[in-house]
Chain A
């Protein structure tokens, strides 16, 4: 990273340093931040695929075990992108160490970029790790790699941004845990990680379409199988719209100094 340090212009060095610090922060506790979600996803894969393999066929010519993997990758990627920015912000607010960043010339937009980039990297790292472990057990095709990348990027950015909002808003770990347990977790589990929404009754199919996590996972899965519940272009538009909306809100909060600078 020394070479990169020298290549970055001084006005962006602060942003890069904050990004680097955020990377080191989660890497210092990689068992918790990377290895643990990989293990959890593999346990989901083991249990659900064992129980449901002979009972569920979602897409033609796609075994349930293979169907499950993109959903599990995306679920972990999203959860970890959210956890990275939210937990770092809440922790540094509670410890008081956020002041070290607030005293610097780093602008609100640079602050956003640094936290967002670190959240995306953690999401990708967890996602890649699950993929590389999972392909030892399952034969997994990749039909449209670009769609996989696009949805991984948009999804991790969306949840990283949501994590920034939650981290700024939360004053204690309990409030942040409420975001994780009462918003992120239900929305991911009810988004089609383990099933196709076509298997649901019409009412719940309609409800699922209000869940942005459904579009992220469905579009991501399209990249693997070339099949999805809805068009990947529609998913792309929905996810991008949510991302832009949340990014606008996060930047507005940071610019106003909400809960950071009174």
Chain B
């Protein structure tokens, strides 16, 4: 039941590289804008917030791969690693901008904020949790860790929850944009426990399709 035409096999590799290039475009564009005065009168905060929002967007896209395959039959599994890594790169840039451009490497106040401010603590925990996922995203680690790899990479769920919470706690009032992002994370996380019954129901209602896809 593939809705969109599938990509020729020879383009799979290049399309993954294209994802990295396109995925890094927002950061490059906003950096250019910030450096040339295009981000308004508070460019650092604007840049920092945009990087954070894009990090959450890539996390959302990463989490959407599985339901997209289950429900719509679109298999974009090959892009999941790239999306996850892009999320990590954006979190890292978001953190670096906060550390260097926003707080000016004032380590005593930075340490105080990480300990005292729940939303910053949560953000830090998410960043630290993403690091081992990024480090073990290569094929060698997947082979080497075997079933433990899947276990480890389930960390993405608390990280996504933490990312949404971090956003929720950082804003003065929950307006449309934070609401939409947080709601998407909530829906995608809520799908996980429902996945097994859903797939079972799908298999039961269409036995031939289920066998064909195994």
A and B, one complex? no
